Amino acid sequence: MAFLRSIVTAKTTAIAAVIPAAAFAISSISSSSSSSSSSSSSHFERLSKNLKFASNPNLRLSFAKNIEKSSPPSALHMDAPSSNHQTSVENGAVLPDLLTEFMVDMSCQGCVNAVKSKLQTVEGVKNVDVDLDNQVVRVLGSSPVKILTEALEQTGRKARLIGQGVPDDFLISAAVAEFKGPDIFGVVRLAQVNLELTRIEANFSGLSPGKHAWSINEFGDLTRGAASTGKLYSPPLGDLGTLEVDVKGEAFYSGAKEKLRVADLIGRAIAVYSTEDKSDPGLKAAVIARSAGVGENYKKLCTCDGTTIWEATNKL
């Protein structure tokens, strides 16, 4: 454990977050100038527990080494974003690292080798850990879910996203909004990176080609579609800019937004508009619901119909 403590203590700052569960919000954060080895050790134990690594010291040591090599110290605690946290750029936005978990249909070591080899070629991937017993693949890096999913499917194996976020003490670390048609389909995923930064990824189909405004609105009331979701949430935080829709009616977005907290968005709505003008009633909206964070969803069967989890893949 002395080695593990030395990894985490190097240049880190102890941070304590006070999270009132009843309010579903993160209320305050305090810091001290330096951390002791005992506090850093307890932080690493929380990380290990959230990743289901506590019972496997080899996996825990491997992940710690990769964190040290691939991420700056700020990735191990909840500092405000800094230039060291920048890992890649897409759509003009800096994408920080996240841990993304998939349930993957694997049956042997050959499957493990194929999955790891493929994912390690994806730009932005820093580390890949495969748990064959639970059929779980964990990917550390800045690559969007869409790209990782496509890479897994290229190995000939079915995969399903089961969790995303950072292994830390957030009450709510991930959320999702699903647009289920009949004309417009889409999935918007939000993941808390630290107390001051959220990553956003979105896939849409069925939109007319061109630019479409989209936003986070005050209410999750869909009785009149997007028109009943209220005003823009906490301007300018709720303004998500514009979606660039191609000639096939499809759009993909991946970016990050400062000061946006996932816990504050549950029960609100994401709305998409017919043009770049947000003053129109809006084309479609979807309610933002809590989604599984890291280590929160290892079920292999869907409760709805009993099929294996990777058979229940969404359209997007």
- The segment(s) of the chain belonging to CATH 2.60.40.200 are 174-290
Handedness of CA 284, 290, 291, 293 (dihedral sign): positive
Cα 247 to Cα 298: distance, rounded to the nearest angstrom: 38
The pLDDT assigned to 33 comes to 32
Q: Which superfamily does CATH assign the domain made up of 174-290 to?
A: Superoxide dismutase, copper/zinc binding domain (2.60.40.200)
- The segment(s) of the chain belonging to CATH 3.30.70.100 are 98-165
Cα 101 to Cα 82: distance, rounded to the nearest angstrom: 25
The pLDDT assigned to 280 comes to 87
Q: At what angle do helices 2-9 and 57-70 cross, to 10 degrees?
A: 30
Q: Are strands 210-217 and 239-245 parallel, antiparallel or unpaired?
A: antiparallel
Rg (CA), the chain: 20
User: What is the distance, to the nearest Å, from the Cα of residue 302 to the centroid of all Cα atoms in its chain?
Assistant: 21
> Which tens digit of pLDDT belongs to each residue from 192-242?
988 889 999 999 999 999 999 999 999 999 999 999 999 999 999 999 999
Read off the tokens for 24: 């579903």
pTM, rounded to two decimals: 0.66
The pLDDT assigned to 167 comes to 66
CB 285 within 8 A of CB 180: no
Kindly report the number of other CB atoms within 10 A of residue 3's CB atom: 9
CATH classification number, 98-165, choose in 3.40.640.10, 3.30.70.100, 3.40.50.10490, 2.40.10.10: 3.30.70.100
Q: Please state, for a pLDDT cut of 70, what percent of the chain lies above it.
A: 61
Residues 127-148 as b or e (16 or more Cβ within 10 Å = b): bbbbbeeebbbbbbbbbbbbbb
Residues of the chain with pLDDT under 50: 1-91, 94, 300-316
> Which tens digit of pLDDT belongs to each residue from 249-263?
999 999 999 999 999
| Matching residue, tokens 């850990």 | 129
Cα 85 to Cα 79: distance, rounded to the nearest angstrom: 10
